[in-house]
Amino acid sequence: MHRHIPIKDSESLFACYEAIARLTAEMVNAAEVGNWEIVSTLESESAAYVDALRRSEPHPTLSRDDIERKRTLLVRILEDDARVRAMVYPRLDRLQKRIDTARRANTASHAYGSMARY
């Protein structure tokens, strides 16, 4: 879902950060119940907002209050992202081990299968 998200002022800038914060919080909830398809969908949506932030640099000048608001949102986003990663990485490790085991079994099958023909 890559849509054009214009960032012209601090209001639209914060709309992006708040959307990312909402999406990463939803990712935590989905990961906690093991709904990895939803996690992936939410991550893609979040990535569209992050991409919009990157494309829109330099960002509007912010007041001190806005800088603090941005910092608070970034901390929340990073904390939720870390929580999701903490749930995803063990799952990825288990998946990688399964792939490695299947690959070794396939290699052995090909090796011993070709020997059986002789």
* Assigned token pair, 85: 């990663």
Split at pLDDT 50, 70, 90, the class of 115 is low
User: Mind listing the pLDDT tens digit for each residue in 1-25?
Assistant: 445 677 888 999 999 999 999 999 9
Give the pLDDT confidence score for residue 3 in this predicted structure: 59
**What structural domains and CATH numbers belong to the chain?**
10-83 (1.20.58.380)
DSSP one-letter code for 4: -
Question: pLDDT confidence of 116, banded at 50, 70, 90?
Answer: low
- DSSP letter assigned to residue 59: P
What is the mean predicted confidence (pLDDT) over 81-85?
A: 95
In the chain, what are the helix, strand and coil shares in percent, each to the nearest 5? Answer: 80, 0, 20
What confidence tens digit (pLDDT) does each residue in 23-62 have?
Answer: 999 999 999 999 999 999 999 999 999 999 998 878 889 9
Q: Can you say whether the dihedral through the CA atoms of 25, 26, 30, 35 is positive or negative? A: negative
